[in-house]
Structure 1
Amino acid sequence: MSKLRDAIYGFAVADALGVPFEFKERGSFCCKDMVGFGTWNKEAGTWSDDTSMTIATCKSIKDKGYIDIDDIRKNFKEWLFNGEFTADGEVFDVGTTTREALQLNRGLSDFYSNGNGSLMRILPIAFIDASDEKIEEVSSITHAHEISRKACVDYVHIARKLISGEKLNLENKSMDEVKSTGFVLHTLDASLWCILNTDNYKDAVLKAVNLGDDTDTTAAVTGGLAGIIYGYNAIPREWIEKLKNKKLIEGCLF
């Protein structure tokens, strides 16, 4: 079974796990299992824009065999405007920067356009031969500020190290120091903290959701790395079974 499949399922399951709890304050809830409804009133197993844009990127790489920025953008537009690459045909939870960038056909480069909307979809690039410059180009489809571009490069480098079997060697923090907002550096930092402070897939992604606020993206970014580390078989079987539209996910893998 491929590491890409491990990563994408790890990502999608964690995304779905976090969807019902998005925007909830840390400590106001406790996620223990994959449930439905909540914030977005979606059935259990429904994944969000994070997975949609990630598999849209995968599908472009599968179709083209290389990174084609225009084709990736085309897939993103098919998702945003036509409901393609979704769990149930409905688009929800779209970031302001992402929507505006796709409407304008250019990435936004102001400081306030440093949400986690490119970090959350960059994982597939770790599985192909792409330079840092190319990684930044993929980020810049929507998020063109240097902070977002560099965060994507850092995440891809970390993912590649994990793919090769290396372990994370980063300075740890206390939970109080970890923020889980939509700011790209907070998401990257929080996901790494969750990996560092757990030793299995389930605990890593539950810890990410329970940090609160941007629960689906923090969990998804964590889950992608945890999928690489622990593999598909480490993901709870009942969560895989609940996951929506697995046929679409499978069809996008390269």
Structure 2
Amino acid sequence: MALCLAASLVCRRDFVPYDQLVRYKWWYKHGYMSSTGRCFDIGAATSDSLHEFEHRQQCFATTYKIPIEKLDFLSDAGLLTKFNVKCSSSGVAGNGALMRLAPVPLFFYRHSVHAVEYSGFSGMITHGDQKAYDACRYYGALIVATLQGARKEELLDNEFYEKHSSWFKPVPLVSEIMKIAHGSYKQKGGYDAGIRGKGYIVNALEAALWAFWSEENFEKGALAAVNLGDDTDTTAAIYGQLAGAYYGYGNLPEKWLQHVYAKNFLLGL
């Protein structure tokens, strides 16, 4: 889904949630951008949202007399503003919103406020809870700061949010995400201290930041994230977005890079 999001941003040269949902649907139904050629391991929240998106598309086509075969290729800005792209609901706060996030802050990092807002919006189209929105905003802000040259100690500063509050206005972070921003993940005991890489986005964010905080290079942090257990692949995927931006491509393990799907495509982006 991260590749779908990246492709949308590059192809549309803008943040177009409708197009993002179309590409997620293609992945779900046809394996678009999948490393296996098919959709696998889709979460219930994402699946439900994509079914809702398809239903809304069909209703939209009827209302505005749009041929079905043209429905996935809408470009009329006025028409797109009439489509409700928030296909989830309050209470849906799975980690799927966070694990695909990186293309948004990477694309908009020169414009911090837009990058943070779009990071949150990118999650809400499939995960409608405010906690999902804020987890994506906060993590997006960390990636933006990384790309703008912030040191690791600045990223992990318990006052990072306060020092970058203008990026988040006018909506403050909800208490669960604010607690993480203030350093709740800094637990030397890791798993024994309650850090869990679970499907709930609050747990997932905390676990990914714990792995980034507790280790000094990309490989060790990724292994720490995976070894928490539970939703291992998603925890590592979330960790890898911030850690990859911070450590850089040149510091990724070569033995892992040899197996990266679509590596040349990614380098081209």
Shared fold, TM over 0.5: yes
* Aligned residue in 1 for 2:157: 169
**2:212 is the counterpart of 1:195:** yes
Q: Distance in 1 between matches of 2:229 and 2:49?
A: 27
- 1:103 is aligned to 2:51: yes
2:136 paired with 1:152: yes
Structure 1: unaligned runs, 5 residues or longer? 1-52
Counterpart of 2:36 in structure 1 is 88
One-letter amino acid matched to 2:2: T
- Write the deviation string for residues 66-118 of structure 1: whole angstroms up to 9, x where unpaired: 1011111111111111110100202111000000101101422232x211111
Question: Partners of 1:136 and 1:221 in 2: how far apart?
Answer: 15
Contact 1:60 1:75 in 2 (8 A): yes
Shift, 1:250, TM fit: 4.1
Counterpart of 1:114?
93
**1:159–1:225 Cα contact (<8 Å) kept:** yes
C-alpha RMSD over aligned residues: 1.5
Question: Which protein is bigger by CA-based radius of gyration?
Answer: 2
TM-score, with structure 2 as normaliser? 0.70
Percent identity over the alignment?
31
CA contact (8 A) 2:225 2:232 kept: yes
In the alignment, residue 28 of structure 2 is paired with which amino acid?
Answer: L
| Cα distance in 2 between the residues matched to 1:65 and 1:228 | 21
Using the alignment, how far apart are the partners of 1:250 and 1:149 within structure 2? 29
CA separation of 1:90 and 1:236: change in aligned 2, threshold 3 A: same
What are the within-5 Å matches in structure 2 for residues 21-40 of structure 1? none
Which amino acid counterpart does residue 212 of structure 1 have in structure 2?
A: G
Task: Check conservation: 2:27, 2:38, Cα contact below 8 A.
Answer: no
Contact 1:88–1:244 (Cα < 8 Å) also in 2: no
Distance 1:194 1:152 in 2: 17
Local SS of the residue matching 1:165: coil
Indicate the SS of the match to 1:118.
Answer: helix
Q: Deviations over 1:209-242 (max 9, x none)?
A: 1011110110011111111111111111111112
1-side partners of 2:38 and 2:115: how far apart?
A: 34
Greater relative contact order structure (CA < 8 Å, 6+ sep): 1
TM-score (norm 1): 0.74
**How far off its partner does 1:158 sit?**
1.1
- Distance in 2 between the 1:194 and 1:65 partners? 33
Equivalent pairs, count: 199
